[in-house]
Structure 1
Amino acid sequence: MSSHGGQKKDVYVWELPVRIFHWVNALCIVVLLITGYYIYNPFVHAPGLVANDYFLMGTARFIHLVTAYVFIANLIFRLYWFYAGNEYAKIKFWKKEFWVGLKDVILFYCFIKKEEPHYVGHNPLAMISYLLFIWLGSFFIILTGLAMQSEIYTTGFLHSITAWWQALMGNSVNTRVIHHMLAWVFVLFIVAHLYTSFRYDFLSKSGATSSIITGYKSKEMPEEDEAQEGQNKNHSA
């Protein structure tokens, strides 16, 4: 936590499209995990003797498929917003400052650096975790999911874009195992994400958790900026 004791100022960080993406993404992941686990291990069985009257598995698969396409469309929209959004919507991992900041954040979390580097948006470590889990993880879980779906249709668009993956894996069992393992990686990410978000919000009092609803976070003003703002207020009075 920063050692500065200055005044805090609300900064508009997360634009509405980013907040909508976050909640749609979160809802899709939860629905996909629940329905995906049911498809893998049907923990609810249709009562009675005629399972077709209830069609639980078919319903779960349908919800899983529709949600998956919403998940894909939402990610495509977020890719666009990397370009169209404000500076906090971007991940500039190609810049030197990003990697210097990443080193400082890692040193802080390893208790080597005493003062925590302050970022209004995501710090570089959070950005890297999103790149690995939300983007790279999503790419492979989407790819494996589409590859399994293409097994139903041996021709067409899905088959053409996933044929290379099918050839690489050799059989569908490997694809299903990877898809299932990635789902559990998402579970671990959710747990870590919730823990670090609430912990950081509690320690920094920055409104990090509520910011994904309101869009605003509290930024601690340096003493010189605080003094300048005070002078401006005095002149305007």
Structure 2
Amino acid sequence: MLAENFNLTAYCQRIGYTGELRPNLATVQALMQHQLRSVPFENLDVLAGKPISLNPDDIVAKIVGRQRGGYCYEVNGMFAMALQALGIPYQFVAARPMFYPMKRPRTHMALLVTLDGAEWLCDLGFGSYGIRAPLRLDVLETPIPQGCDTFMLSEEGGDIILKAQVEGAWAKQYGFNRCPVEWIDFAPANWLNSTHPDAVFTQKPLVVCFTANGRNILFGDSFKQVDAGITTQRTLAPHEQAAVLEEHFGLRS
């Protein structure tokens, strides 16, 4: 799905990466962490009533050209373009979010990347309890610390389940299988997430950006900062939101 306007050098400049570019795990992990810290997960265009385009050229123009972020299809799509430019095999998977009280459709997009004969889960678009580095798919029931978070992959009913440790307990985040999914298959989910009145993205601002030791989260008028496991939170007045978006998420109106 490489866009005609994708340029690997421009992408690296956008995410602040100046290291080596090789088709190996070290490069993939470094690119993933740099993108997570510079390209926020955000739904501001959804709230503004703007269509969320899945055209690869539009994604590049938005994230690289206009210095914006996006939600899972956009940020994971952007990362897929970088993988393709490096010659790294990958496939899209459709994942079912599992933190809701009721069963939800498989509307989340993630990536399975093949490196050194193994498959790795990469995901740069899951918001607060998203992984911070690739997870090897054949390492199950094993806690994997990533910064201030700890994750684990399990297998249930033919699905691989991503779990995060939340307040001392394992909380299911989403489940997926290895069935390959094509880019166009996410069009209905994109439409639902960007237009349905019950979708979380249509209701209030949701912006997440990772930091070296945690993450910054804006949800509605609540601004939360997690740093080395310590959480601070405050309520923003309407006039404060623009400054917080620029200072902590690199987003300008």
Q: Normalising by structure 2, report the TM-score.
A: 0.29
**Which one has the largest radius of gyration?**
1
Higher strand share: 2
Higher relative contact order (CA 8 A, sep 6+): 1
Higher helix share: 1
